[in-house]
Amino acid sequence: MKPVALITGGQKGIGLGIAHALVENGYRVALAADSAPDSNAVRDALGKLGVDALYYQHDLRDVASVGHLLDQIEADLGPVASLVSNAGVPAKVRGDLLNLTQDSYDFVMDVNLKGAFFLAQAVAQRMLASPASANYRSIVFVTSVSAAMVSIERGEYCLSKAGAAMMVQLFAARLAEDGIGVFELRPGIIETDMTAGVKDAYTPRIEGGLVPAKRWGTPSDIASIVVPLVRGQMAFANGAIIPVDGGLSIHRL
């Protein structure tokens, strides 16, 4: 039986790139996001992924419905072998840190930190409650270089990703003895819908050396690293933090 991967935010961007790679490597994927099932993004994603993909509408802020989500996935596809915690939201408005509002702070934290934590917790509980299978089990958190790099115009986003980085370490330490791998990927400047609004501003900076690779990252750059993680090829690197940023986060003079 094909292993099942749950990918939050899997209907577009980095999540869709990961979904493509996992389907190509023999996984069935459950895509979970708050987009309407009949939205263009969801229809396009399912059309591209084929019969090994199903979509589930889920708002990460709705912690109470996590059990229902996992029940649906297990009934349709089977138990989740790998969770790719990818969904996230940016700051509602970029601006002065001293003008950051509680509304924007709470929105970002509720999705990027609270929602991500309680979904991972529920998946981990079910993994531990079921007999170990032939499939390697893992939780991969897609965070950001903003976990460690400061952007004062979007403080709530940086804080949420810094918190998520600690969350990864906590889950890795808790689950290591049970053979469940937990990893953190820190994307840099990736070309997606989320970064479309700053593309013109960042492109000349990237080409000028802000990113040593001198190009935008792509969803496939992230996906190519997820595959060996969920297949267990890096099992003894449990808790690893992997920058996927073309060298952006390298300290330089």
pLDDT tens per residue, range 10-55: 899 999 999 999 999 999 999 999 999 999 999 999 999 999 999 9
For the chain, the straight-line distance linking the first and the last C-alpha, in angstroms and rounded, comes to 51
* 145: containing domain: 4-244
**Range 58-64 average pLDDT:** 96
Query: Does 251 fall in a domain?
Result: no
Query: Does 53 fall in a domain?
Result: yes
Query: Does 162 fall in a domain?
Result: yes
**Torsion angle (degrees, nearest 10) of CA 53, 179, 128, 87:** -40
How far is the C-alpha of 30 from the C-alpha of 97, rounded, in Å?
Answer: 37
**In this structure, what token pair is assigned to residue 155?**
């403080």
With helix as H, strand as E and coil as C, how does 106-164 read?
Answer: HHHHHHHHHHHHHHHHHHHHHHHHCCCCCCCEEEEEECCHHHCCCCHHHHHHHHHHHHH
How far is the C-alpha of 48 from the C-alpha of 26, rounded, in Å?
Answer: 15
Q: Exposure pattern of 102-126 as b/e (b: 16+ CB <10 Å)?
A: eebbebbbbbbbbbbbbbbbbbbee
**In this structure, what token pair is assigned to residue 37?**
């099932």
Collapsed DSSP state (helix, strand, coil) of residue 31:
strand
| pLDDT confidence bin for 176, thresholds 50/70/90 | very high
Please report the pLDDT score of residue 29 as a whole number.
98
How far is the C-alpha of 200 from the C-alpha of 198, rounded, in Å?
Answer: 6
Please report the pLDDT score of residue 198 as a whole number.
82
What is the number of helices (H) and of strands (E) in the chain?
A: 8, 7
Please report the pLDDT score of residue 228 as a whole number.
97
Neighbours of 157 (CB within 10 A): 23
Query: Does 61 fall in a domain?
Result: yes
Please report the pLDDT score of residue 222 as a whole number.
97
Please report the pLDDT score of residue 194 as a whole number.
75
CATH classification of the domain holding 186: 3.40.50.720
**What's the pTM?**
0.95
- Please determine, for residue 208, whether its predicted confidence score (pLDDT) is greater than 90: yes
Which of 33-47, 53-67, 126-140, 224-238 has the lowest average pLDDT?
Answer: 126-140
Query: Does 140 fall in a domain?
Result: yes
Query: Does 123 fall in a domain?
Result: yes
**Cross-strand partners of 186:** 243
Q: Please, are residues 70 and 93 in contact by the beta-carbon 8 Å criterion?
A: no
Look up residue 234 and give its DSSP letter: T
Please report the pLDDT score of residue 236 as a whole number.
97
Number of domains composing the chain: 1
| pLDDT confidence bin for 193, thresholds 50/70/90 | confident
Query: Does 208 fall in a domain?
Result: yes
How far is the C-alpha of 226 from the C-alpha of 153, rounded, in Å?
Answer: 30
What confidence tens digit (pLDDT) does each residue in 62-118 have? 999 999 999 999 999 999 999 999 999 999 999 999 999 999 999 999 999 999 999
Query: Does 119 fall in a domain?
Result: yes
What confidence tens digit (pLDDT) does each residue in 148-172 have? 999 999 999 999 999 999 999 999 9
